[in-house]
Amino acid sequence: MRTLVNGLIAGAVGTSALNAVTYLDMLIRARGASSTPNDAVQKMADDVHVNLGEGERADNRREAVGALLGFGTGAGAGLCYAAAAHERPVPWPVGMLALGTLAMLGSNVPLAALGVTDPREWSLSGWVSDVVPHLVFGAAAYAAYERLD
């Protein structure tokens, strides 16, 4: 049980770091937030015939659910890593890359499956905006997991 709790905590730390880097990128480049999470929430709601409301209420619900799904992705990556790394030493580059990859796959595979995005069409800037925060997620989550373990 302790291993899973440590994985959840590591996932939360990684998610906080990913969010901080993403907001820093938005600040530096003066770019807006991605609409992808909101688009995915709308697509899922449409697919299961859930009405999110109208206007601002629907916008707020999409934004909230999108953020919560991001926290869930981070928690899931931390849990998967904890289950796989339990009782084995994992060198930091491997652990960091594993956690970053788990988080990146956990967010991008469902988005691509929903048809909300297609990574094959991303520009270099789009890839950098996705890879860098996920590497930071991996580094922060790995450090937290190792500290807790």
CB neighbours of residue 6 within 10 Å: 22
The arithmetic mean of pLDDT across residues 106-111, rounded, is: 97
Q: How confident is the model at residue 88 (pLDDT cuts 50, 70, 90)?
A: confident
Distances (CA, A) of 35 to 1, 66, 86, 120: 36, 9, 36, 18
Q: Report if residue 1 sits inside a domain.
A: yes
Q: How far is 136 from 42, CA to CA, in rounded Å?
A: 28
Q: Report if residue 121 sits inside a domain.
A: yes
Q: Report if residue 19 sits inside a domain.
A: yes
CA dihedral for 119, 125, 130, 134, sign (positive or negative): positive
The arithmetic mean of pLDDT across residues 62-76, rounded, is: 97
Q: How confident is the model at residue 87 (pLDDT cuts 50, 70, 90)?
A: confident
Summary mean pLDDT of the chain: 96
Helix ranges (DSSP H) in the chain: 2-29, 36-47, 55-85, 92-114, 124-148
Per-residue b/e over 80-116, b at no fewer than 16 CB within 10 Å? bbbeebeeeebeeeebbebbbbbbbebbbeebeebeb
Question: Residue 100 sits in which domain range?
Answer: 1-35+73-148
Q: How far is 102 from 113, CA to CA, in rounded Å?
A: 16
Q: Report if residue 49 sits inside a domain.
A: no
**How many structural domains are present in the chain?**
1
Q: How confident is the model at residue 134 (pLDDT cuts 50, 70, 90)?
A: very high
Q: How confident is the model at residue 74 (pLDDT cuts 50, 70, 90)?
A: very high
Q: Report if residue 85 sits inside a domain.
A: yes
Q: Report if residue 44 sits inside a domain.
A: no
Q: Report if residue 47 sits inside a domain.
A: no
Q: Report if residue 61 sits inside a domain.
A: no
Question: What pLDDT sits at residue 120?
Answer: 95
Question: What pLDDT sits at residue 149?
Answer: 78
Tokens of 81: 């890593």
The arithmetic mean of pLDDT across residues 132-139, rounded, is: 98
The arithmetic mean of pLDDT across residues 14-41, rounded, is: 95
